[in-house]
């Protein structure tokens, strides 16, 4: 079943969401105030229109009420982003995702009822910083301000040991939720305590950031 989306603001972030959703076969209404941006997405999105999303009348005319999920990807213009989100909320949109520029912007967006607030630059910066610090950290996903999931290459100290031997939960307070095994190219979800870690294995670890840091420091 095709789901309907609208993307407001076709900069690098909104544009990439629009492309990806369209490539996945979704119906996407792409909106931007700039004609050249809209032209760029004419052949990609289901519909691409030049419109100012801060104009309530325009939003109504575009039939935005019938759209399931709207992504507000207006860049630097925080006022326009807030106003658009507020109007979408008042129009009763089911799900609204908004790109925030900073923490204050996020606070306001949450207060007025945005369902999901994202900080793509900040989050990507953090993920890259973690992989720069340690060559073995392949990815880092923030779950909250102080909890994360990390993907780590098995360090020398782990190879040949079982999860029981390492006792990661007791020693570091984190949980190994899955192991990607290089040998058979499989993902072992909820591995047994007796599972031996081989060279090339990748561990998916969940925990508080301070515990993950200790785990990284001593085992990775
Ligand atoms: P990014 O950092 O993702 O590249 P930009 O700031 O470059 O973000 O892009 C934001 C886009 O949002 C621009 O293409 C801009 O024309 C568009 N935009 C800004 N205000 C509005 C508005 N009121 N209605 C629709 N589109 C808007």
Write down the domain spans for the chain.
4-118, 123-219
Q: Is 4-118's fold the same as 123-219's?
A: no
The predicted structure's pLDDT at residue 134? 75
Atom of ligand 1 nearest to the CA of 54: 23
The predicted structure's pLDDT at residue 1? 57
φ, ψ at 27 (rounded to 5°): -80, 120
- Taking the centre of ligand 1 as the mean of its atom positions, its distance from the CA of residue 120, in whole angstroms, is 15
19 C-beta closer than 6 A to ligand 1: no
Q: How many CB atoms lie within 10 A of CB 115?
A: 16
Instruction: Report if pTM > 0.90.
Output: no
Burial class (CB in 10 A: 0-12, 13-18, 19+), 151: middle
Pick the CATH number of 123-219 from 3.40.109.10, 3.30.70.1450, 3.40.50.720, 3.40.50.300: 3.30.70.1450
φ, ψ at 112 (rounded to 5°): -90, 5
31 C-beta closer than 6 A to ligand 1: yes
The predicted structure's pLDDT at residue 72? 98
Q: Going by CA atoms, what residue is nearest to atom 12 of ligand 1?
A: 9
Helix intervals (H) in the chain: 12-23, 35-41, 56-61, 78-90, 103-111, 120-133, 163-166, 168-172, 209-219
Beta-sheet pairing, 186-189 with 202-208: unpaired
Q: Going by CA atoms, what residue is nearest to atom 2 of ligand 1?
A: 75
The three-state secondary structure class of 66 is helix
| ipTM of predicted assembly, 2 dp | 0.96
Atom of ligand 1 nearest to the CA of 34: 16
The predicted structure's pLDDT at residue 48? 97
Q: 210: left (phi > 0), else alpha (psi -120 to 50), else beta?
A: alpha
Query: What's the topology of domain 4-118?
Result: Rossmann fold (3.40.50)
Going residue by residue through the chain, which has 220 residues, state the pLDDT in tens, using 9 for 90 and above.
Answer: 567 999 999 999 999 999 999 999 999 999 999 999 999 999 999 999 999 999 999 999 999 999 999 999 998 899 999 999 999 999 999 999 999 999 999 999 999 999 999 999 998 888 888 778 777 888 888 898 899 999 999 988 899 999 999 999 999 999 999 999 887 889 999 899 898 999 999 999 999 999 998 898 887 7
Both tokens of 176, joined, read 């190994």
């Amino acid at each position: 079943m095709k789901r309907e989306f609208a993307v407001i603001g076709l900069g690098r972030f909104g544009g990439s969401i629009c492309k990806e959703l369209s490539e996945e076969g979704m119906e996407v209404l792409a909106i931007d105030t700039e004609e050249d941006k809209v032209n760029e997405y004419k052949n990609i999105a289901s519909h691409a229109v030049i419109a100012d999303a801060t104009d309530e009348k325009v939003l109504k005319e575009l039939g935005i009420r019938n759209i399931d999920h709207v992504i507000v990807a207006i860049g630097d213009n925080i006022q326009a982003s807030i106003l658009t989100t507020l109007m979408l909320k008042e129009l009763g949109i089911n799900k609204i995702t908004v790109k925030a520029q900073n923490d204050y912007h996020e606070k306001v967006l949450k207060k007025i009822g945005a369902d999901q607030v994202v900080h793509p630059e900040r989050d990507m910066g953090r993920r890259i910083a973690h992989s720069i610090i340690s060559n073995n950290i392949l990815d880092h996903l923030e779950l909250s301000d102080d909890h994360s999931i990390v993907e780590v290459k098995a360090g020398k100290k782990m190879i040949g040991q079982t999860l029981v031997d390492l006792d990661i939960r007791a020693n570091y307070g984190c949980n190994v939720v899955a192991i990607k095994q290089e040998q058979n190219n499989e993902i072992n979800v909820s591995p047994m305590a007796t599972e031996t870690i081989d060279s090339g294995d990748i561990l998916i670890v969940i925990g508080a950031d301070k515990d993950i840091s200790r785990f990284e420091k001593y085992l990775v």
